[in-house]
Amino acid sequence: MKLFFALIGLLAAATVAAQTPTGAWKTVDDATGKEKAVIRITEANGVFTGKIEKLLDPAKQDSKCDECTDDRKGKPVVGLTIMRNVKKGEGHWEGGDILDAANGKVYRVRLSLSADNKKLEVRGYMGTPLFGRTQTWTRME
Residues 66-79: what's their mean pLDDT?
96
**Are 133 and 124 a contacting pair, CB within 8 Å?**
yes
- Sign of dihedral through CA atoms 10, 16, 96, 137? positive
Instruction: Please return the burial class of 26, using the count of CB atoms within 10 Å of its CB with bins 0-12, 13-18 and 19+.
Output: middle
Interval 46-59: pLDDT, tens: 999 999 999 999 99
Reported as a pLDDT band with limits 50, 70 and 90, residue 4 is: very low
pLDDT at 10 over 50: no
Residue 140: beta bridge partners?
Answer: none
Reported as a pLDDT band with limits 50, 70 and 90, residue 18 is: low
**Are 121 and 115 a contacting pair, CB within 8 Å?**
no
**Are 70 and 88 a contacting pair, CB within 8 Å?**
no
Structurally, at CATH architecture level, domain 21-139 sits in Beta Barrel (2.40)
Decide: helix, strand or coil at residue 111: strand
Decide: helix, strand or coil at residue 138: strand
Show me where the domains of the chain are located. Answer: 21-139
**Cα separation, 86 vs 97, whole angstroms:** 7
Q: Residue 127 has what pLDDT? A: 84
Q: Residue 116 has what pLDDT? A: 95
pTM assigned to the model: 0.84
pLDDT at 5 over 60: no
